[in-house]
Amino acid sequence: MQTSIVSWIVFLVTLVLVLTSLISVVFPALLLRTFGGLEDNSGINPYEMGIWALPLLATNLTLLGIVVLYFKNKVPKTISKSIKFIFDFEVSAKIAFIVIVVIIGAYIASSIGELFNGKFDDDYYQFVKSYIDNYSIMHLSNWGLGHHLTLFLLSSSLKVFGNYKVIPYISSIVLLVLTYMTAVEISKKRFAGIVAMVIVLQSGIFLMYDTSVAYPSFWILFYLLSLYLIYKKWHLSPLVYVSSILSKGLTAAFLPMTLFFIYRSNISKQKKLRLVTIYSVLAIIGTVILYITGKSLNTEQYHAFSSHSFWAGFSAVSTSLRLDGLVLLFILPLTIGLFVASRNEVKCADSILFLITGLLLSAPLLPAFSDLANFPYRFVALTVFFALGVSVLLSKKINEPS
């Protein structure tokens, strides 16, 4: 009964956040005009539809119609069999390995030129380069403790490879493989893992930042690894989570997501208790460190709640996800599908919903209380969680006969 209530709460919160974010896709100015303090005389029509509005509505309504017809057995047998085949399909370990090697090989062949094109993000020249050039492992930069490991890895990339982009590029490749491994772990299907990896690889946001020096993927790589290790080497998970925080301080706010992931994981209660205890101790230690040295470690300017920035944050989701149409078009069906999966006692479905909730909630909250802006690179994490959600829908448990 308690589990059912938790599932409903997680689903409803996620659904509200998804629908609110999608409102900004259909009507980009509506939230700001209604709640965000945008003046009526601004000349902006709150009901003017965005460029993704029609594709979003058409896709979701079409998918809804197919699902309804499917469960009423009114879909043509050819389509019905095709759907069942996709959900039941699995590949051998040997085939999966070959497919992964081919996919990664094709990705490397098509993208390795980016390492030598001499192009960098604008923020690299304005901020990051000076931090790297003056980096010392024994001293914190003005960028703060939350980027110390990132600076170390970027500095190491130059020293070892003579190129700042190499280690960020390796990190992106490892992220693809780790997405596959995590998806296989939670779905128990290699095919689901391949699908998850391809979803991340096709993402325009991922491809935009895969060799970025200003916005490397270290933080999401370490965070995802900390989740994966909960299943494989639970005692290493907290250590890797700390690494994610040292790569980007934002992941410290992901602690509730991690604790919920532990709660819904398929590990023993004893391991869960130990993990929660260790993570709680780390949280207390981190809070004390920030309290004592916060002024010297924190370069961000925080302020009182801004209603305008809060509602503008939802618009940032639709703006960023224009680079990843697959997530934009299917995040609502995925949310509903994961809830259905959770009702079928697939525990990790709730975990993925909670991860998506955390990412979507950070979009309005960060700018509402600080000068932090919503850059698209932060939504690489959302694409990864979306991919894991798809793997859950393809999971072995869902397709087992009841």
Question: pLDDT tens across 359-397, in order?
Answer: 999 888 888 887 777 788 889 999 999 999 999 999 866
Judge contact between 224 and 384, C-beta under 8 A: yes
**Distance from C-alpha of 327 to C-alpha of 274, rounded to nearest angstrom:** 35
Residue 70 lies in a domain: no
Query: 162 in the Ramachandran plot: left (φ > 0), alpha (ψ -120 to 50) or beta?
Result: left
pTM > 0.85: yes or no? yes
Mean pLDDT estimate for the chain: 86
Domain count for the chain: 1
DSSP conformational letter for 370: B
Does the residue 71 lie in any domain? Answer: no
DSSP letters, 55-106, are: HHHHHHHHHHHHHHHHHTT-S-HHHHHHHHHHHH----HHHHHHHHHHHHHH
- Could you tell me the pLDDT band of residue 259, with boundaries at 50, 70 and 90? very high
Q: Answer yes or no: is 83 within a domain.
A: no
Give helix 190-201 / helix 166-187 axis angle, nearest 10°.
150
- Let me know if residue 64 belongs to a domain: no
Q: Has residue 334 been placed in a domain?
A: yes
Structure tokens at 102: 């081919």
Q: Is residue 6 part of a domain?
A: yes
pLDDT tens for each residue of 261-302 = 999 998 899 999 999 999 999 989 888 876 665 544 444 466
Q: Residues 209, 214, 218, 224: is their CA dihedral positive or negative?
A: negative
Encode pLDDT of 114-133 as tens digits: 999 888 877 777 778 888 87
CB-count burial class (<10 Å; 0-12, 13-18, 19+) for 190: buried
Query: What is the domain extent for residue 343?
Result: 2-50+89-399
Enter the tokens of residue 157.
């990339």
Please name which of 96, 369, 377, 357 lies closest in space to residue 218, comparing C-alpha atoms. 377
- Residue 67 within any structural domain of the chain: no
Residue 192 has a CB neighbour count (10 Å cut-off) of 27
